[in-house]
A and B are shown apart, each in its own frame.
Chain A
């Protein structure tokens, strides 16, 4: 269930994540955590396209969004991102499975 307080961020996320040619950048930290946790790039992409923004906070001068959703194996994932509407780009900061 989407958090209504972050409805606008959720709408913006879906628009960017489903745009043709969207660029997804991963921090080294995100890539390491994904490898450790068995989360693939396809899992992340699916959650970004179908999930909702559960939390918004400022971090190093940028707005980070915690995106929650299920992957195609029904795992409940949380992905921390920075979204850039103007250049259609998403920076993935971290990802984990919610238990």
Chain B
């Protein structure tokens, strides 16, 4: 059995792309079978939600589905939480209708409010969303979600913990 920590690992199987640095473990067994392990998947999902919601690029159908599943909600439950019609969520997720400016920010406020405590390394203030100017076109091909593991010492509890933090954020 050999074990390697990958310098860079790109993944698309969370629903939106993510790049991880110096964290993903690949084990290769003696018979050649490979196993890939991402540490603290729950923490990573929370960090991905925060970074995507705080990035000003207009939310896509894939982003919405990712947010909903990260919150563990069915489409109907997500619609109830946002106080919109379930058919609207369905149209958003199926690209039949874009998310309007008001709903875009409402969704960002909701998901960040629900999940930010699970992503301790990601700075969050609701004002960041309130003052955000949502943009429709990407100005860079760099992935939005790029992370590495960091060790934090929490201010209130003085407890040290490992968490996902951004390596860079592109618009």
Contact = CB atoms under 8 A, between A and B. Distances in A.
B39 A28 contact: no
Contacts of B74: 72-74
Contacts of A25: 27, 35-37
Contacts of B33: 27-28
A31 interface: yes
- A interface, size bucket: 20 to 34
Contacts of A31: 13, 36
Contact of A28 (B13, B34, B68, B69): B34
A11 interface: no
Given A46-B69, A46-B72, A72-B74, A40 B13 contact: yes
A71 to B, nearest CB: 8
A33 B169 CA distance: 30
A33 B68 CA distance: 23
A56 B134 CA distance: 50
A94 to B, nearest CB: 12
Interface of B: 11-15, 27, 33-42, 45, 66, 68-70, 72-75
Main SS of chain A's interface residues? mixed
A26 B74 CA distance: 25
A24 B72 contact: no
Given A42-B69, A42-B70, A43-B69, A34 B39 contact: no
Given A41-B41, A42-B15, A72 B73 contact: yes
B14 A23 contact: no
A46 to B, nearest CB: 7
Contact of A42 (B12, B14, B37, B40): B14
Nearest to A26: B36
Contacts of A73: 74-75
Given A35-B13, A45-B41, A72-B73, 7 more contacts: A20-B42, A25-B35, A25-B37, A26-B37, A42-B69, A72-B72, A73-B75
A56 B40 CA distance: 27
A75 to B, nearest CB: 11
B37 A34 contact: no
A26 B69 contact: no
- In the A-B complex, the 5 residue pairs with the closest CB atoms: A42-B69, A25-B35, A25-B37, A28-B34, A40-B15
Contacts of A40: 13-15, 69
Contacts of B41: 24, 41, 45
